Chain A
Amino acid sequence: MSTTISNNIIQQDPWSSLKAFTAARIALGRTGTAIPLKEVLAFKLAFAHARDAVYSLLDDQQLAVELDIFKLPVYSLQSKSDSRNIYLQRPDLGRQLNDTSKKRLQDLSKEEYDICIILADGLSATAVNKNALPVLRSLIPTLKQYNIAPIIIVQNARVAIGDEIASICKAKLSVVLIGERPGLSSPDSLGAYLTFSPMVGLTDESRNCISNIRLEGLQHNLATEKILYLIQESFRLNLSGINLKDTSKSYCKL
């Protein structure tokens, strides 16, 4: 053969300007019916970040150091899931404290509180490591009229573990900051779940949820505003969940 095959291989899509309107993977182009390698590799990298987030660990020592500015006690606890693999297969175990943690919390909890703040890894500890402090830094100073319980950090935990923790702490309201299920474009998305009168056995309709808290999603200061609004409304109406409407445009995917 005298001439080589052209390396102008990819059929480009002439609508990449539409990318301005969405983060979706549009206008990828193609070769035959396949996605071009550049986009395949970008996908694989995003997937690797998401997988890493699922298996990431709460940096509880660093968090405890940073939480020191609030002058509140910080307790580090564990759920009944003792490994990530069990955690993924048994959501029920992630909703309960293990015996040691439960006893420790019972021994430490003597007085009653208004609000119990809980940091839980959920499906992305990365989300908590990155986004919990910025939210709390703006939130806690606005809660001066409330009696705040010790801050709890809990590993291998699901949202409902907050019910057990807050009821042992005798808190009127729980705020669980938890790592959400990572998407390809969002390995570090934090969710905030508010529950009034938390007790074991409550389900999602008893909670309010603020989702997608991260730099590229719902900004920390806006998230704080929403959380504060829900806390105030919750105490005013003595309830949370489906009967407490968040009038702002948030959404929730459990």
Chain B
Amino acid sequence: MSFSLISHFTVGELRDWLLSDNATTTTLQKLAKGFTPEMIAAVSKLMRNQDLIVIAQKCEIITRFRNTIGLRGRLSTRLQPNHPTDDLKGIAASMIDGLLYGSGDAVIGINPATDSPASVVSLLNMIDGLRTKYNIPTQSCVLCHVTTILQVIKQAPVDLVFQSIAGTEKTNKSFGISLSILQEAYDAALSLQRGTIGNNIMYFETGQGSSLSANAHHNIDQQTLETRAYAVARKFNPMLVNSVVGFIGPEYLFDGKQIIRAALEDHFCGKLLGLPMGVDVCYTNHAEADQDDMDNLLTLLGVAGCNFIMGIPGADDIMLNYQSTSFHDALYLRKVLNKRPSPEFEAWLLKQQIMDEHGNQLPIQSSHLLLQ
């Protein structure tokens, strides 16, 4: 139905039309299911950075679990308190640090160092314990393999189900998944009914180049395959989709300029397909990039209306060994663009006297509840 409205466009006409004032937020929301990933990837290649930004900004993709993510004027963060040996106290220390810096409304999400079910269960219990103790309106996730979550889902508090996905069946097979495994996990997590205000329960990560790594690209360019991964994601009404753009390495995106361009393409393509896009604004130490590149990208994505970014102590992930955005970076972006956290989380930050009503951080006393 939505496809028939636009099926006569050439790719060039689609580019011009998307930039026109006729392509409004509502129109784009209605058309989202009619956009095929191949055409959206193609049209992204006809666009300059400003085109990718202005069109993405028109998209508003809202999702809900315990809070509301993606409202216009809001910027959320995934609190990423990783630790190289999954030490529970080490992870809790980074969580407290992040919460006191106003981070964690998109999700509190840990990349586990091991995928063992026992370890995943103890991590899930720990985050859920802190979340319920302080009554934090957010959701948790341990980013283990989806089959591990299926193993533990009956014995652990599972909010969001994570999986890395890609744009070819062969790559997904190399990730150890298929559409039916994703469907099984989706159904299992839905049946838990843990969301209080919504039922978006999947968290997907993607990244340009994963099919080349898996030698499963069928000679298709990496942006088309990336957008095909988004078409997989939209089947499962995800809460969050995150392009880990600078993580994959310089063999795919060599320097800051390429990382910035790819991130804007990914954000644009995901948003047009109707996905709640976040971006891991990041680089590895073997890429030609530095903090200045990340500041540029962060600011551009803020203008483009990115739903969420990562929050990592001092931008240094000591488990995954790469640099992403710090808790401070999110505060910077909210300040210069006058953005706020998700409304439910904002209310919690105000109540905890972490933030004031103008969005400024408040001084934290050693007697603060979270430090007890």
Residue among A22, A34, A180 with the highest chain B CB neighbour number at 10 A: A22
A-B contacts, 11 of them at CB < 8 A, read: A21-B87, A24-B97, A24-B316, A25-B314, A26-B93, A27-B97, A33-B328, A54-B286, A180-B321, A183-B316, A185-B316
Which among A33, A50, A212, A253 is the interface contact of B332 at CB below 8 angstroms? A33
Q: How far is the CB of B173 from chain A (nearest CB, A)?
A: 12
Whose C-beta in chain A lies nearest to the C-beta of B332? Answer: A33
Q: How far is the CA of A50 from the CA of B321 in the complex (A)?
A: 10
Which among B113, B318, B321 is the interface contact of A24 at CB below 8 angstroms? B318
Binds B, one of A9-17, A64-72, A101-109, A166-174: A9-17
Tell whether, in the assembled complex, residue B321 and residue A23 are in contact, meaning their CB atoms are under 8 Å apart: no
Q: List which A200-254 residues lie within 8 A (CB) of chain B.
A: 212, 217, 249, 251, 253
Tell whether, in the assembled complex, residue B100 and residue A15 are in contact, meaning their CB atoms are under 8 Å apart: yes
Tell whether, in the assembled complex, residue A212 and residue B84 are in contact, meaning their CB atoms are under 8 Å apart: yes
Tell whether, in the assembled complex, residue A251 and residue B321 are in contact, meaning their CB atoms are under 8 Å apart: no
- Chain A residues positioned under 8 Å from B318 (CB to CB): 22-24, 183-186
Tell whether, in the assembled complex, residue A54 and residue B93 are in contact, meaning their CB atoms are under 8 Å apart: no
- Chain B residues positioned under 8 Å from A162 (CB to CB): none
- Chain B residues positioned under 8 Å from A26 (CB to CB): 93-94, 97, 313-314
Q: How far is the CB of B280 from chain A (nearest CB, A)?
A: 16
Q: How far is the CA of A123 from the CA of B366 in the complex (A)?
A: 42
Tell whether, in the assembled complex, residue B285 and residue A28 are in contact, meaning their CB atoms are under 8 Å apart: no
Binds B, one of A84-92, A111-119, A129-137, A149-157: A84-92
Q: How far is the CA of A240 from the CA of B81 in the complex (A)?
A: 32
Q: List which B336-367 residues lie within 8 A (CB) of chain A.
A: 361, 363-366
User: With an 8 A cutoff between CB atoms, is A198 at the interface?
Assistant: no
User: With an 8 A cutoff between CB atoms, is A35 at the interface?
Assistant: yes
Which among A33, A43, A50 is the interface contact of B331 at CB below 8 angstroms? A33
Q: How far is the CA of A5 from the CA of B60 in the complex (A)?
A: 45
Tell whether, in the assembled complex, residue B290 and residue A47 are in contact, meaning their CB atoms are under 8 Å apart: yes
A-B CB contacts (within 8 Å), total count: 139
Q: How far is the CB of B99 from chain A (nearest CB, A)?
A: 11
Which of the four size classes fits the interface of chain B? 35 or more
Tell whether, in the assembled complex, residue A88 and residue B363 are in contact, meaning their CB atoms are under 8 Å apart: no
User: With an 8 A cutoff between CB atoms, is B323 at the interface?
Assistant: yes
Which among B87, B291, B320, B328 is the interface contact of A28 at CB below 8 angstroms? B328
Q: How far is the CA of A35 from the CA of B315 in the complex (A)?
A: 11
Q: List which B189-222 residues lie within 8 A (CB) of chain A.
A: none
Tell whether, in the assembled complex, residue B85 and residue A184 are in contact, meaning their CB atoms are under 8 Å apart: no
* Known A19-B93, A47-B285, A253-B321: A14·B366 in contact at CB below 8 Å: yes
Q: How far is the CA of A182 from the CA of B286 in the complex (A)?
A: 8
Q: List which B289-315 residues lie within 8 A (CB) of chain A.
A: 290-291, 312-315
Inter-chain pairs besides A15-B96, A22-B89, 18 sampled, C-beta below 8 Å: A11-B361, A14-B364, A15-B100, A18-B97, A22-B93, A24-B82, A24-B90, A25-B316, A26-B313, A28-B328, A30-B328, A35-B326, A88-B250, A88-B254, A182-B285, A183-B285, A183-B321, A253-B113
Tell whether, in the assembled complex, residue A33 and residue B361 are in contact, meaning their CB atoms are under 8 Å apart: yes
Q: Chain A 26-52 against B: per-residue CB contact (8 Å), 1 yes, 0 no?
A: 111010111100010001001100110
Tell whether, in the assembled complex, residue A22 and residue B94 are in contact, meaning their CB atoms are under 8 Å apart: yes
Q: How far is the CA of A217 from the CA of B321 in the complex (A)?
A: 13
Q: How far is the CB of B315 from chain A (nearest CB, A)?
A: 7
User: With an 8 A cutoff between CB atoms, is A181 at the interface?
Assistant: yes
Whose C-beta in chain A lies nearest to the C-beta of B362? Answer: A11
Q: How far is the CB of B364 from chain A (nearest CB, A)?
A: 6
* Known A15-B96, A88-B250, A89-B251: A43·B315 in contact at CB below 8 Å: yes
- Chain A residues positioned under 8 Å from B322 (CB to CB): 183
- Chain B residues positioned under 8 Å from A186 (CB to CB): 318, 321
- Chain B residues positioned under 8 Å from A89 (CB to CB): 250-251, 254
Q: How far is the CB of B319 from chain A (nearest CB, A)?
A: 8
Which among A22, A35, A43, A90 is the interface contact of B90 at CB below 8 angstroms? A22
- Chain B residues positioned under 8 Å from A18 (CB to CB): 93, 96-97
